[in-house]
């Protein structure tokens, strides 16, 4: 079976990491080609897994007709059996390629993320998804609430969806303890200071200005943020204007688990998620979570069990939950629950095998050979 994986992003983010985990788990079962931008770090990471000769370059978050036609040629040349696209931009390519080559398409939206659109833009986008999703044979939702949101609230992709929960690699407990000591020494943070971690793109959907407001209310805590993006300048301006000195923005990093291991709790202020990889990674190192009560977050954070869900737009509430987690006993109790939930329900191996079963269903329908 030959698979073309398409993503309009290959920079730091949950979507590209999700793809990496699928490739890593399934490369011995499926002959995989990858179309994505030549961006750091995932172009190189994908190349190491599939080989440079199986990498096909497309623009970063932009549609290009020539690139689409080049992918059509590549599909025919390499006799691609299934296309699996990830995210809105990749979905445009896969529609065209699937239609022109009559290749079955599986699409993973990774959340709708339409908050930045105005009313007309939202209507246009939803209309496209409602009426032009014919080439999509299957939609893979990464959380139950994402599926419910799409099918019932926005009335798109009905009858095509299957939920396959996102998963992350289990973190080793010995490494976590070692990393905690290393990172705190590296950033000169003493053992008594409480550290709140966040891994995020700096864009409207991640709502990082609200995270600034939360940090403003907890000045005795240190907030360590991993990530980058167009909105970083605006966030740094807000930090400067408020005179905050308890926020450290580390930029894009390749050692996310190592950084999270030095934290005591995790904060997510997102407006919407598909299935939040960063939250799952925080759970994998045993952190309690404080997260906005939105799609995606509500699937992984059990309120008052492994963390707290706060009302979006209410930084006082989020800050009060961080205060409660100042209790070492509560932090440990909720952190242990996070770890148990991640190990039991959010494994990368289980996720990849479930996706592979969807490939097999299409292969059987189309009469393909399921293995390389």
Strand partners, 268: 291
Give CA separation, 43 vs 297, 347, 372, in Å: 28, 24, 23
Which pLDDT score, from 0 to 100, does residue 115 have? 67
CATH code where residue 315 lies? 3.40.50.2000
Rounded to whole angstroms, the Cα distance separating 299 from 296 reads 5
Q: How much is the pTM?
A: 0.77
Read off the tokens for 163. 């939920």
Q: Is residue 372 part of a domain?
A: no
How do residues 344-358 score in pLDDT, each as one tens digit? Answer: 889 898 899 999 999
Domain assignment of residue 243, yes or no: yes
Q: Is 26 a member of any domain?
A: yes
Quick one: pLDDT band at residue 272, thresholds 50, 70, 90? Answer: confident
- In the chain the beta strands, taken as DSSP E runs, fall at 2-7, 31-36, 55-57, 82-86, 105-108, 136-141, 161-163, 195-199, 222-226, 247-251, 265-268, 289-292, 307-310
Categorize the per-residue pLDDT at 372 as very low, low, confident or very high, splitting at 50, 70 and 90: very low
The domain in which residue 138 lies consists of: 2-167+348-366
Same domain, 188 and 158: no
**Residue 249 located in a structural domain:** yes
> What is the average per-residue pLDDT within 248-261?
94
* 96, part of any domain: yes
Q: Do 55 and 23 share a structural domain?
A: yes
Query: Same domain for 213 and 325?
Result: yes
pLDDT recorded at residue 370: 52
Q: What is the pLDDT of residues 204-227, one digit of tens each?
A: 989 999 999 999 999 999 999 999
- Express as a percent the part of the chain with pLDDT over 90: 78
Provide the pLDDT confidence category of residue 145 given band limits of 50, 70 and 90: confident
Q: What is the pLDDT of residue 85?
A: 98
* Predicted pLDDT at 113: 74
- 42-96, pLDDT tens digit by residue? 999 999 999 999 999 999 989 999 999 999 999 999 999 999 999 999 999 999 9
CA dihedral 86, 87, 90, 92 (to 10 degrees): 130
Does residue 223 share a domain with residue 149?
A: no
Mean pLDDT estimate for the chain: 94
Are 209 and 73 within one domain?
no
């Amino acid at each position: 079976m030959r698979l073309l994986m398409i993503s309009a992003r290959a920079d730091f983010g949950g979507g590209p990491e999700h793809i990496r985990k699928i490739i890593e788990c399934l490369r011995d079962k499926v002959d995989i080609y990858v179309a994505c931008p030549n961006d750091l770090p995932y172009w190189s990471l994908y190349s190491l897994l599939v080989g440079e000769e199986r990498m096909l370059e497309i623009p970063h978050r932009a549609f290009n007709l020539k690139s689409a036609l080049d992918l059509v040629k590549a599909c025919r040349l390499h006799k691609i059996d299934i296309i699996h696209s990830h995210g809105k931009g990749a979905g445009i390519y896969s529609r065209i390629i699937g239609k022109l080559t009559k290749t079955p398409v599986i699409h993973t939206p990774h959340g709708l993320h339409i908050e930045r659109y105005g009313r007309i833009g939202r209507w246009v986008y939803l209309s496209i998804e409602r009426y032009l999703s014919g080439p999509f044979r299957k939609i893979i939702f990464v959380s139950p609430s994402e599926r419910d949101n799409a099918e019932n609230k926005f009335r798109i992709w009905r009858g095509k969806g299957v939920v396959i929960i996102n998963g992350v690699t289990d973190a080793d407990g010995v490494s976590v303890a070692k990393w905690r000591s290393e990172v705190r020494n590296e950033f000169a943070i003493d053992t008594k200071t409480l550290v709140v971690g966040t891994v995020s793109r700096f864009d409207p959907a991640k709502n990082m200005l609200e995270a600034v407001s939360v940090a403003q209310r907890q000045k005795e805590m240190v907030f360590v943020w991993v990530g980058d993006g167009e909105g970083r300048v605006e966030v740094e301006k807000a930090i400067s204007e408020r005179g905050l000195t308890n926020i450290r923005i580390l930029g894009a990093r390749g050692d996310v688990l190592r950084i999270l291991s030095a934290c005591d709790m995790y904060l997510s202020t997102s407006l919407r998620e598909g299935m939040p990889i960063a939250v799952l990674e925080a759970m994998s190192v045993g952190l309690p979570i404080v997260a906005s009560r939105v799609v995606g977050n509500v699937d992984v954070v059990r309120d008052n069990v492994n963390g707290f869900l706060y009302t979006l737009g209410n930084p006082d509430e989020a800050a009060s939950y961080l205060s409660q987690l100042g209790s070492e006993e509560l932090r440990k109790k909720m952190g242990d629950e996070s770890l148990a939930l991640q190990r039991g329900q959010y494994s990368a191996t289980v996720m990849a095998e479930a996706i592979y079963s969807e490939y097999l269903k299409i292969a059987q329908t189309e009469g393909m050979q399921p293995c390389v």
